[in-house]
Amino acid sequence: MGVAVWPDDGQDFDALLQRADTAMYQAKAAGRNTYRFYTAEMNAQALEQLKLRTALHWALDQNEFVLHYQPQIELASGRVVGVEALLRWQRGTDPLLLPGRFIAAAEESGLIVQIGEWVLREACAQAMRWQQAGLPELTMAVNLSAVQFRRGNLLLSVTQALADSGLEPSRLELELTESLLLDDAEQVLETVRRFKALGVCLSIDDFGTGYSSLAYLKRFAVDKLKIDQSFVRDIVSDPDDAAIVRAIISMARSLKLKVIAEGVETAELASFLNLYHCHEAQGYHYARPMPADELAAWLLQYQTRD
């Protein structure tokens, strides 16, 4: 809800309505069940958001979006078993923009549906290009937005991306957020069931930061938990974080789920996670996200390492 107050925010009904509307969009951006009072700064913010949405439309039309890929390593064997597709925006000659700079605007405008469809198509096609080049078969992990579930025909988008690329469904992993499982649970559950019937892998991203319960893990029949890096980065020095990570891994194994830890930046972290029987790891200790051609070269070098 947005609030504008007479006479400070406007002298007539139209001005007050316009400014209450501006405040409402700020409230929406902050999450559900919130309200914001109008401030003068909101006009500048609204203008910037409008410019950003216009630029996002242009980016889609001009193919300015690119994917970078970060390897996922099986800890027990050291093999590369998958990659995560990560969206980047090459806006002209500017430095690459990370999703944190534009995803909120894309979701609010609904453009995230079209962007998400492009990500699915490109990620599946790239996985097949690597496979046809003789590189190891890898699982391709793709992040999904809650808006894609609510506004887009997600099942059709996934099915079409798989059909167009020829990628086996088992090689596609869709990353869901914990909050998504609680938001309109019945609709999400039906979509999840159809994905499972299709044969794709489902994981919960940033596990531990939301409100998932054992009941939800069982009900939604996901395949993998991705431990949020906020718990991983200090497990060597923080007993509480170490206990949380051990508990998540133990719980997941009891439920026959795989576990991957993100944000693994040192060999010591990788060693601890392997000791805890975590299945997979991802982070700067192994490699930063990189373009497709660089990843192909990295894979060849990694395979021939001592």
pLDDT in tens, 178-221: 777 776 667 788 888 899 999 999 999 888 766 556 667 777 78
Average pLDDT, the chain: 86
Q: Would you say the pTM of this structure is higher than 0.95?
A: no
Read off φ and ψ for residue 27, nearest 5 degrees. -65, -40
Mean pLDDT computed over 114-131: 97
Q: Which CATH class is domain 63-303?
A: alpha beta
Q: What's the pLDDT at 260?
A: 97
Other CB atoms within 10 A of residue 291 CB: 12
pLDDT in tens, 237-272: 999 999 999 999 999 999 899 999 999 999 999 999
Instruction: Please say whether the beta carbons of 242 and 270 come within 8 A.
Output: no
Residue 25 has pLDDT above 90, yes or no: no
Residue 281 has pLDDT above 80, yes or no: yes
Mean pLDDT computed over 44-72: 84
44-58, 120-134, 141-155, 219-233, range with the lowest pLDDT: 44-58
Q: Is 69 left (phi over 0), alpha (psi -120 to 50) or beta?
A: beta
Please list, in sequence order, all residues whose beta carbon lies within 8 angstroms of the beta carbon of residue 228, skipping any fewer than 6 positions away: 206, 207, 208, 209, 262, 263
40 falls in which pLDDT band (50, 70, 90)?
low
Please list, in sequence order, all residues whose beta carbon lies within 8 angstroms of the beta carbon of residue 208, skipping any fewer than 6 positions away: 227, 228, 230, 231, 244, 248
Please report, for the chain, the start and end positions of each structural domain, with discontinuous segments joined by +: 2-39, 63-303
